[in-house]
Structures are given as structure tokens and as C-alpha cells.
Chain A
């Protein structure tokens, strides 16, 4: 009987919920999780079929660039805990090194874009969630690479 009472007392004691709340609060303060979406696109003037996987971004790209065709090369989604450093393989021999942190409601990310062992581009950006950044320019297979990076 004493054991049962002790157990009941522990469960309904205010200290247990408070401890759980504190753990949750501390976890929320110290770490923030975001999803990084990286879409690799091949832009060229060679004829290519429309790809529905580009529906949400192609109309924007056409306003910015003058390429005739846009092809989907690949897309990755990576869960990132802020702050942290991650390496993301985006396919076709390309990879990203990302050092991301959260600041003032934005995500500050230092991004290094590699082709094999060669670093093609290094940049530091401050992004809002849901607002993509467009990286690009490296030549690829007779066209040009475009990388759409978005934190969600």
C-alpha cells in the first residue's frame, strides 16, 4: 500500500509536469529544426519536355532568366537542427556544405556548393522560411545549373 501511494504521489505531484515542461522549453530554446529543400535544375536552350515537378518554380525562373527550357535534375529534403553544420548530397556529383543558424527570425546559412572535390560557389545568405534563394551559373551538360534553396 505504501508503494502504491508513493507511486500515485509521484505521478500527480506538480514536480513531474513541471520537469517535463522545463525539458520541452529547454529543447525548444536551444534547438530549432528546419527542413532544407534543394532543387537542382538544368537550364538550357535545347528543347525539352515540360516537367511538372518544376511547376512551383519554373514560372518564376522564366521571369528572371532567358533560358528556353528547364529540366528537373533532382531534389533533396534535409532536416537541419539550428545551429548545425551539414553536408547534403544533391545528386549528379554535386553536394552542399551548409552551416546554418537562426537569428532574428531568419536563417543565416553559409553555403558551399561542390562539384566532386571542387568548390564552385561559396556564399552567406540570410533567408526567411519559405522564401527560396536562387543559386546558379556553373555549366553542366551543355546548359547551366540552377539550384533553388529553401528553408521550411
Chain B
């Protein structure tokens, strides 16, 4: 450890952000380099004066949360910025769930029929009519394939009192 690193760790220790393991290493370094004790005392005094000058204020939820994160970071002896939270651990599960939802949505989109084509019969499945006849008097037969539904209609048109049934088609 060089002096610059020792000063950096000293600052972190005064701020309460140095882990126990690094704190032990810093103490060992300070014991071997007593000239840094004066620097630590000076910084400690500056900090005390600064905190004494600050008006007391209630801790905000954000500050409390930062304290918790700091405590976790110090306790876990992890470098700054490498805190592994529950959310980090569950990121893969979230990605998996998102991918599953996307796939389900795509599958439903493919499977769901077009609202405009509900009930439509595929061309290969449609009914084929070979012939049709009627024995009803004054009637004629016709075959009609409805393009929209795909249904085949076999119809007899019966003339009643000179009028033709005009509902078909």
C-alpha cells in the first residue's frame, strides 16, 4: 500500500465506509507510518467541527436507505459499486419471464383466428357438389359457394305465385 492509497482508505474509514478487512490493513499501515496519525487527527477534527456546525436534521428515508446500503457494503467487504442485491440475483428470472410472455403472446397471436375470418372453411375442405336436381314444381336448383364462410349452399328456388324466393345469396 502506498501513501496515496492509505490516504484514500483513511478518508473512507473516517466516513465509515471502509470494510473491516481493509480497516485492519490500514491500521497496520498507520502503525508502520506514524506520520499519517497527524493527518488522521486533522481530518477527524475537521469532520467533528463540520458535523458540529451542521444543524441537526431528521434522517430522510433516502438517507436511511443509503445507510443500509453502506452497512451492507461494509459488512460484505465488497468493492464500491459491486453490491449484489436481490434484484440483481433475480434479473435472469425476470428476463426469462419476459421472454416467456413474449413467446406466449406470439403464440396466441398466431393461434387466434382473424375476427373477420371466423368460421371460414379452408378451400381444400369445402364441400364439392357433383349434381343437384329438384322434383318440386316450378322450381330450379342452384349451387352457391359463399366466399366469406366457405360454406356450400345447395338451393332450390321455388316460384310461389309468380314470385321467386330472393333470400339466398
Contact = CB atoms under 8 A, between A and B. Distances in A.
B139 interface: yes
A124 B131 contact: yes
Q: Looking at B146, B155, B157, which has the most chain A CB atoms within 10 Å of its CB? A: B155
B125 A121 contact: no
B91 to A, nearest CB: 48
Interface residues of A, number: 30
Interface stretch (B64-72, B99-107, B160-168): B160-168
Give the contact-size bracket for chain B.
20 to 34
A60 B149 CA distance: 7
A55 to B, nearest CB: 12
Contacts of B169: 64-65
Given A59-B119, A63-B149, A120-B136, A137 B130 contact: no
A99 interface: no
B44 interface: no
Given A60-B119, A60-B151, A67-B167, A124 B160 contact: no
Nearest to B148: A63
B167 A123 contact: no
Contacts of B148: 63
B75 interface: no
Nearest to A123: B132
A136 interface: yes
B151 A137 contact: no
A127 B121 CA distance: 12
B129 A123 contact: yes
Nearest to A107: B127
B127 A127 contact: yes
A134 B129 contact: no
Contacts of A125: 127-130, 152, 154
30 contacts: A64-B151, A64-B153, A64-B168, A64-B169, A120-B134, A120-B135, A121-B133, A121-B136, A121-B154, A123-B132, A123-B154, A124-B132, A125-B127, A125-B128, A125-B130, A126-B130, A128-B126, A128-B127, A131-B121, A131-B125, A131-B126, A131-B127, A133-B129, A133-B154, A134-B152, A134-B154, A135-B155, A137-B139, A137-B141, A137-B168
Given A122-B132, A122-B135, A125-B129, 18 more contacts: A59-B119, A60-B151, A64-B153, A65-B168, A120-B134, A120-B156, A121-B136, A124-B129, A125-B128, A126-B127, A131-B125, A133-B154, A134-B151, A135-B155, A137-B139, A137-B165, A137-B168, A138-B158
